[in-house]
Amino acid sequence: MAQSAGIQIGELSRRPACNIETIRYYERIALLPVPVRSAGRYRVYDTADVRRLAFIRRARELGFTLDDVRTLLSLSTNDNLGACANVRELAESHLAEVRAKIADLRAMEHVLADAVRHCAAGEVPGCPIIDALSAG
């Protein structure tokens, strides 16, 4: 692999704002390729590694699992039309999960808002928030 940039791990961690230990972890689980080593045994990365790490970080920020990220990375190197369909399928599945979480969060918001309102109004004896949490 040609090392066009000669980037060390500290610089790599700063570019997409990723912890050094996370970079090492991504190497151990093969999301990032094992980098070449300099004569001084330092890890040396190139600009492709920076792009790949940024891709991983963004996918993780969007809530994709590590397995999903691995799949997306493998599909991103595939130039056929089927790859795009597979990416869309994965994204649709993830979107459904996100929408389900949003619905759960809205339900939680409603329960908590009611409990806080009842507590502030003193409408219910005892503590409505404790009662709401106890009710499951």
Q: What does the pLDDT read at residue 5? A: 60
pLDDT tens string, the chain, 136 residues long: the values are 444 568 999 999 998 889 999 999 999 999 999 999 988 889 999 999 999 999 999 999 999 999 999 999 999 887 776 788 899 999 999 999 999 999 999 998 998 898 888 887 776 677 777 877 787 6
- How far CA 17 is from CA of 3, 21, 77, 92, 135, in Å, comes to 21, 12, 24, 28, 42
- Beta pairing partners, 44: 8, 36
Q: What does the pLDDT read at residue 30? A: 95
**CA dist., res. 80 & res. 86, Å (int):** 10
Q: Which residues contact 38 (CB under 8 A, 6 or more apart)?
A: 44
- How far CA 51 is from CA of 23, 36, 58, 126, in Å, comes to 13, 17, 11, 56
Q: What does the pLDDT read at residue 3? A: 41
